[in-house]
Amino acid sequence: MTPSRPAEPILHVDMDAFYASVEALRDPALAGRPVLVGGLGGRGVVASASYEARVYGIHSAMPMARALRLCPQAVVVSPDFAAYQDVSQRLRELFLSVTPLVEPLSLDEAFLDVGGSERLFGPPEVIGALLRDRIRGELGLPASVGVAPNKHLAKLCSGKAKPEGLLHLRAGEVAAFLGRLPIRDLWGVGEQTAARLERFGLRTVADVAGTAGPTLVRIVGHAAAAQLASLAVGEDRRPVVPYEPAKGMSTEETFDRDVDDPAVLRRELLRLAETIARRLRRGEVAARTLTLKIRYANFATVTRSRTLALPTDHATELHAESAALLDALRLERVRVRLLGLGVANLVPAGAARQLRLLDDDRWQQVERAADVARNRFGDAAVTRAALLDDG
DNA sequence: TCTGGGGTCCTCATCCTT
DNA sequence: TCTGAAGGATGAGGACCC
């Protein structure tokens, strides 16, 4: 006999003001105060704001300078991603103690399918409350939980439950719950899409649900229309997928001041290539496609990409290829605000090495030796001469 | 107001092959 | 040999998410 599945087996667990909460845990003097985690430089933005800071209208992605004008007494803390990663790992272990079906969405939130955990831990809403209490008890942090028939609804519920609440949406309550929500609550509807929908008089989820398919396609295109139509009536067939290999990786840097010196740009590109190459090797993958990203002083952004004949995880090669893309732009002292480098089309490193058997490059050996030294003595142990400060 | 960093996915155009 | 259609790969840009 097949055991029956509960009608609302999906949990979405979302930490409240995650980075700010972790910082308050590390420094109890911050507890109860407006805390902003984010870049301290002139161009930084807020990555996380405590609830005490949100009272002033501050939200994440807001320029730090503006946030401080709204709340001058706020404490600004520089983000420490290693610490957040550490907490995230412990959070994950906690999730895995109730179900193997855990799909992390980011450091601070995850979907859990607890459809098979009922006999051990009780119904989903009981498991949700148990997790929230254990996160508070064992990690000292606040979390909110959504319990619903599918992922999209569970995520909406955790959002409505904040801070530190739990919302259980029963299958029979979906239509009434969704109908009143603004379109911005639908997954995939950001500022642009919302504006487009509003031009056609669509303001609520119920409006979208009542719109004919062909009309939606005309407004937002095929893929988005199909997704919107399903989500608006509470349908979401996506399963909880425990592990998905990364499809790409990237790193970018916004300069404190715009840069117009080609030599500086090339040197920064080498630094980015080093970072990406090390992450590729750590992940035991190699990349075939690389993308150079430039943001000019006026915020206009261009990308240029190139697909290589053979996948690589070598900084020297990534740098040479991306520098060629940079040269092809003929910037001629144009002021650059941001430089980025990304890779995609990832393949397992073993397969990449087989493809490159005849390609015995000494730099490969040098970079691997550098990895060994960095792993043993720290990141600062090995640096290219070209990246050392001149002064 | 003045916009970070790391990702994913979609659309559209172009080129190449069949 | 030429032509056109179809489809895949690639490149660029944009929207969205946390």
User: What pLDDT is stored for residue A359 in this prediction?
Assistant: 55
Q: Is the CB of A223 under 7 A from strand B?
A: yes
Rounded Cα gap, residues A146 and A267, in angstroms = 47
A53 and A135 both lie in a single domain: yes
Ramachandran angles phi, psi of A81, nearest 5°: -65, -30
pLDDT digits (tens, 9 = 90+) for A260-311: 999 999 999 999 999 999 999 988 889 989 999 999 888 888 899 988 888 8
- What percent of chain A is modeled with pLDDT above 90? 56
A218 and A366 both lie in a single domain: no
Rounded Cα gap, residues A39 and A79, in angstroms = 7
- Alpha-helical segments (H) within chain A: 18-26, 51-54, 64-70, 81-96, 118-121, 124-134, 151-161, 174-179, 191-199, 205-209, 213-220, 222-232, 262-282, 315-328, 349-355, 362-377
A108 and A181 both lie in a single domain: no
Other CB atoms within a 10 A radius of the CB of residue A97 amount to 13
pLDDT digits (tens, 9 = 90+) for A333-343: 889 999 999 99
A66 and A124 both lie in a single domain: yes
Minimum-distance nucleotide, CA of A193 to C1': C15
Other CB atoms within a 10 A radius of the CB of residue A380 amount to 7
Query: What's the rounded mean pLDDT across residues A241-266?
Result: 89
Count CA atoms closer than 13 A to A326's CA, side-chain side: 29
User: What pLDDT is stored for residue A361 in this prediction?
Assistant: 61
A221 and A190 both lie in a single domain: yes
pLDDT digits (tens, 9 = 90+) for A41-67: 778 899 999 999 999 999 988 999 999
User: What pLDDT is stored for residue A390 in this prediction?
Assistant: 47
Domain hosting residue A325, numbered range: 248-387
Parallel, antiparallel or unpaired: strands A109-113 and A102-106: antiparallel
Name the domain count of chain A.
3
A256 and A208 both lie in a single domain: no
User: What pLDDT is stored for residue A391 in this prediction?
Assistant: 36
User: What pLDDT is stored for residue A221 in this prediction?
Assistant: 84
pLDDT digits (tens, 9 = 90+) for A179-196: 889 998 998 888 888 888
Q: What DSSP string runs through A224-283?
A: HHHHHHHHHTT---PPP-S----SEEEEEEEEEEEE--HHHHHHHHHHHHHHHHHHHHHT
Q: Which of A62-66, A196-200, A379-383 has the lowest mean pLDDT?
A: A379-383
Q: Is the CB of A39 under 7 A from strand B?
A: yes
Which of these, A245, A325, A254, lies nearest to A285 by C-alpha position? A245
User: Tell me, what CATH number does A365's domain have?
Assistant: 3.30.1490.100
User: Where a domain ends, among A145, A169, A193?
Assistant: A169
How many Å from the CA of A189 to C1' of C16? 7
A255 and A145 both lie in a single domain: no
Task: Pick out residues whose CB falls under 7 Å from strand C.
Answer: A 61, 105-106, 108-109, 155, 187-194, 289, 291, 301-307, 345
In single-letter form, the type of residue at position A31 comes to A
Model confidence band, residue A214 (pLDDT cutoffs 50, 70, 90): confident
Is residue A388 over pLDDT 80? no
A35 and A151 both lie in a single domain: yes
Rounded Cα gap, residues A120 and A116, in angstroms = 9
Find the residue closest to C9 using CA and C1' atoms: A307
From residues 88-117 of A, which are strand B contacts by CB within 7 A? 106
* Structure-token pair, residue A9: 């087996």
Report if residue A242 sits inside a domain: no
How many Å from the CA of A83 to C1' of C17? 22
A271 and A205 both lie in a single domain: no
- Residues of A with catalytic annotation? 109
Report if residue A243 sits inside a domain: no
* Structure-token pair, residue A13: 């667990």
User: Tell me, what CATH number does A159's domain have?
Assistant: 3.30.70.270
How many Å from the CA of A303 to C1' of C12? 7
Minimum-distance nucleotide, CA of A276 to C1': B6
User: What pLDDT is stored for residue A2 in this prediction?
Assistant: 58
Query: What's the rounded mean pLDDT across residues A337-351?
Result: 88
User: What pLDDT is stored for residue A389 in this prediction?
Assistant: 56
Minimum-distance nucleotide, CA of A195 to C1': C15
